[in-house]
């Protein structure tokens, strides 16, 4: 989200950063999964008890969230995105919607955000990539935008594409991945209330190194599934190719669900290290969100569909 757009959002809908830092006050404001704004609960928004292990989760400090990142478009080191993305301009910005959809078009960022400012919520979600963080994301359900563009009955998957601009994204000058970065979800995954388009964190506009101005957050999947700098959304009847699956298909599957019972070929995934903690902790199935999402994978072999 662009800073110049912040006045469009009533101050009553923004949880003060001091509340984020004070865990007890934060928990008192509402559900651990999503804190409804003062205007009331969003129809269809997730209303659930805390996910497994969430009661003792502490928020990762803002400094760590914004300086320890994976964003290969700006470098492969964890500190590279914060160092290299500072001058990256995110205005103007648009997202192309195409494929099996009734309302294909090029949508300006303002057109995407304006109808959902009243739906914007705070989501206190965990993200895992071997190391993990607990981040208070600001955003809205991806389903809100998908419903606007009206996928056809043939649409089964959603493909996302990151901006490809090696001049502004120095990491793309190296063939680390098959640029541009692509990611995908099954349509039911994309429509789940926990799948969000994030526009900010800690009550602030989304920093460049965290995927500004618009990124995907899917908390029950590994963090590399959360594509940043989205410029295209395509609806299709076929499973789309994804960046990491193309790069290493034996290591990174399409689904990318957090499954501690399936080891990565080069390391165990049974434990994770929370940023700021010395000891490693047990990795939870579906990152602890199984009560909310496991039903989508009923009958699937989650060892083959990794």
Residue 83: asked if its preceding bond is cis (omega within 30°), the reply is no
pLDDT of the residue at 44: 26
Average pLDDT value for the chain = 84
What is the reported pTM? 0.84
CA 276, 281, 283, 287: dihedral to nearest 10 degrees? -40
pLDDT of the residue at 226: 95
| Dihedral over Cα of 77, 227, 195, 31: its sign | positive
pLDDT of the residue at 57: 81
pLDDT tens digits for range 137-191: 999 999 999 999 999 999 999 999 999 999 999 999 999 999 999 999 999 999 9
Pairwise CA distance, residues 247 & 215, whole Å: 21
DSSP bridge pairs for 106: 96
pLDDT of the residue at 55: 52
Pairwise CA distance, residues 57 & 284, whole Å: 13
Mean pLDDT for each consecutive 10-residue tract of the chain (306 residues)?
29 40 35 28 31 71 96 97 97 98 97 80 83 94 96 98 98 98 98 97 96 98 96 98 96 96 90 92 96 97 94
User: Cα separations (Å) of 67 from 81, 121, 215?
Assistant: 8, 24, 17
Pairwise CA distance, residues 81 & 228, whole Å: 12
The alpha-helical segments, DSSP class H, found in the chain are 17-21, 23-28, 62-65, 80-84, 109-113, 142-149, 187-190, 243-247, 290-293
Q: Do 234 and 187 touch, CB atoms closer than 8 A?
A: no
In order of start, what are the domains of the chain with their CATH numbers?
Answer: 3-297 (3.90.420.10)
pLDDT tens digits for range 58-76: 999 999 999 999 999 999 9
pLDDT of the residue at 259: 95
Nearest alpha carbon to residue 284 among 275, 293, 276 = 293
Nearest alpha carbon to residue 101 among 236, 241, 239 = 236
Q: Do 185 and 157 touch, CB atoms closer than 8 A?
A: yes
């Amino acid at each position: 989200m662009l800073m110049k757009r912040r006045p469009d959002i009533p101050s009553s809908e923004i949880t003060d950063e001091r509340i984020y830092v004070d865990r007890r006050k934060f928990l008192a404001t509402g559900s651990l999964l999503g804190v409804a704004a003062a205007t009331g609960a969003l129809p269809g928004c997730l209303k659930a008890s805390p996910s497994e292990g969430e009661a003792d989760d502490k928020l990762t400090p803002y400094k760590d969230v914004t300086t320890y990142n994976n964003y290969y478009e700006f470098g492969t080191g964890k500190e590279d995105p914060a160092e290299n993305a500072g001058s990256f301009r995110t205005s103007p910005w648009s997202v192309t919607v195409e494929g099996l959809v009734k309302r294909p078009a090029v949508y300006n960022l303002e057109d995407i955000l304006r109808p959902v400012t009243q739906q914007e919520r705070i989501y206190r979600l965990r993200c895992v990539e071997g190391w993990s963080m607990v981040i208070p994301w600001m955003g809205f359900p991806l389903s809100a935008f998908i419903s606007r563009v009206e996928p056809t009955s043939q649409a089964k998957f959603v493909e996302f594409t990151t901006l490809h601009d090696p001049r502004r994204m120095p990491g793309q000058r190296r063939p680390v991945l098959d640029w541009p970065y692509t990611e995908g979800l099954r349509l039911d995954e994309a429509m789940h209330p926990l799948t969000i388009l994030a526009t900010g964190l800690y009550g602030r506009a989304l920093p460049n190194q965290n995927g500004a101005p618009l990124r995907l957050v899917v908390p029950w999947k590994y963090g590399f599934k959360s594509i940043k700098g989205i410029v295209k959304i395509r609806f299709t009847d076929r499973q789309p190719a994804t960046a990491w699956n193309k790069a290493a298909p034996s290591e990174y599957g399409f689904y990318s669900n957090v499954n501690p019972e399936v080891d990565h070929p080069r390391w165990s995934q049974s434990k994770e290290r929370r940023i700021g903690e010395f000891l490693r902790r047990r990795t939870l199935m579906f990152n602890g969100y199984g009560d909310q999402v496991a039903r989508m994978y009923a009958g699937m072999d989650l060892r083959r569909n990794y």
